[in-house]
Amino acid sequence: MRSVRILVVVAAAIVALSALAPSASAASSKAFHLSKTCVSNVLCTVVSDTFKAIPPGTDVTYVLSDPWNGLAYPTIAVRNGSTTGVCDWNQPGPTVLAKCTFGTGTGRLTQFHLAVDVTVDADNVWHWDGWYWFGG
């Protein structure tokens, strides 16, 4: 009887680990780079990026909270989905101006996560460099 119980426990553990395996592989990070130009502090347009779901020409709109707290809330809306994040402008450093993070979105950006550093070049082109992944 004891060996049957052990067999059931081992089988249950194998089934549980098999169910988790796709989630773990789905959450692997991939490099992300996006360049955008901005016409104001609330509207930017993607020039190029390494993630096909956010094509050039996509708008990134910002809702600025309290300018004193250094946070801005960007939204990326693509065909069949969107995601909203937060950019923290309280970053020390000579080149990284902010850090932005995005949690899960909607539609084709469901379970999309993004973490990037924000920089700007001499031509006033803004760059997001970091990692993205899909998963819970």
Locate the domains of the chain by residue range: 29-134
pLDDT attached to residue 24: 43
Distance CA 54, CA 48 (A): 9
Give counts: helices (H), strands (E), the chain: 1, 9
Question: What one-letter code names the amino acid at 21?
Answer: A
- 7 has pLDDT over 70: no
Name the pTM for this structure.
0.77
Determine contact, residues 46/57, Cβ cutoff 8 Å: yes
- 11 has pLDDT over 50: no
Distance CA 114, CA 104 (A): 9
- 87 has pLDDT over 60: yes
Burial (Cβ within 10 Å: 0-12, 13-18, ≥19) of residue 66: exposed
Average pLDDT over every residue of 88-100: 88
